[in-house]
Structures are given as C-alpha cells and as structure tokens.
Amino acid sequence: MKGLILHESARGIDAYGPESGLLKSRMLFFTEEVTPESSNELIEYLLFLDKDAPGEEITICINSPGGEVVSGLAVYDTIRMLESPVRTVCIGTAASMGSILFLAGEKRLMLPHCKIMIHDPLIAGLSGSKKALELEKEAAKLMETRAITGGIIAERSGHTLEEVLEKTKEDCYLDAEEAIEFGIATGIIEKW
C-alpha cells in the first residue's frame, strides 16, 4: 500500500512517496532477491548517501531471500568501503546472500521475531548433461565461493572458518537471540 505523503512547507504543499522521506532519513530498504539490477540500485543509493553526508550513519533494512553471489559481494564490498557507518536491520528474513549483506553492517540489529539463514552456497540452474571435467570445474568454483562467504561469516561473527563451515553444511536458521549468541547480530531493535 503505497501512497503519497503531503507535507506543508514555506514553498507550499509537497507530495512525495514514503521512500523519499526514508531516503532523507538515510534509510534504505532491500526487500528483494539479490540480482545484478537490485544490487546496482542499492550501490547507487549507498554511494549517493555517502557522498551527500560523509560520516553520517546509513541504515539498510533487509528482508531478502538471497540470490546471486557476485552481485551480493559487490554490495558487501561497497558497504565495507564507505566513509559513512552502516547499520543493517533484519526486518523479516535475511537468508543466504541476504545474510551476507546483513553482516556488512557495523551495527547489525534484528526485529524481535526475525530470522537469519546461513548456508553453503548453491549451484543454481544446473540442467542438461555435464561432462566430468565441467562438473569438476563447477565444484571448484562452488568451493571457492564457500570459502569466501564462510570467511565473511567467520570474520564478522568472531568464529573460526572451520566452525562456520560446520554450521553452514545445512540451512541454519537463527532467531534474533541465537544470531546474537553466534555473533551474527549485535542486538535486537525494539524502537525505531
């Protein structure tokens, strides 16, 4: 349910969408699959806000099923390089690559009933016949991606890579308290 917000000012009455007001508050929402398009849009907004007021906190609210690894890592790297501190807030489920985006924040907060899901990366779209060497090459890429994403989870949570890889062998859903205990989240947000 999106509508216009009317705001009276010295210039008269301005009408804008809720996303404009949130952008003015340096709050972004990432509530979709991680794709090249969605990632590029988020990076553009992050760079804009960082240049607009360097050093002022940016908040990203995340409710994402995850998605494409390279695009997600581009967002993760961008967040980590910004001059402005970034606070990530899980507002539903931050799953798979969505959890990696969540981990990019310095402050990583969750609403009380949200979930984080971490797991080993998947090969999407395997179809048709593959030769043994093609499968071996795909498996090597997958293991490289596993090491990268596992390394990020380990670094940000304070666990060893071995502990993380053991935890992510299967889909691992963590509620807010469990995410804090594991070091993925830094707190529970109870008031905006």
The full set of domains in the chain, from first to last, is 27-188 (3.90.226.10)
**Active-site residue 127, yes or no?**
no
Which residue do the tokens 């402050």 mark?
Answer: 107
Rounded-to-integer distance, Cα 19 and Cα 26, Å: 10
Q: Inform me whether the pLDDT recorded for 10 exceeds 50.
A: yes
Q: How confident is the model at residue 16 (pLDDT cuts 50, 70, 90)?
A: very low
CA distances from 164 to 122, 169, 181 (A): 16, 9, 14
**pTM metric for this prediction:** 0.87
Rounded-to-integer distance, Cα 175 and Cα 8, Å: 42
Residue range 55-74: mean pLDDT, rounded: 97
Write down the catalytic residue from 64, 71, 96, 99.
96
Pairing mode, if any, of strands 12-16 and 27-30? unpaired
Write down the catalytic residue from 38, 64, 119, 157.
119
**Active-site residue 84, yes or no?**
no
Q: How confident is the model at residue 134 (pLDDT cuts 50, 70, 90)?
A: confident
Tell me what the pLDDT averaged over the chain comes to: 90
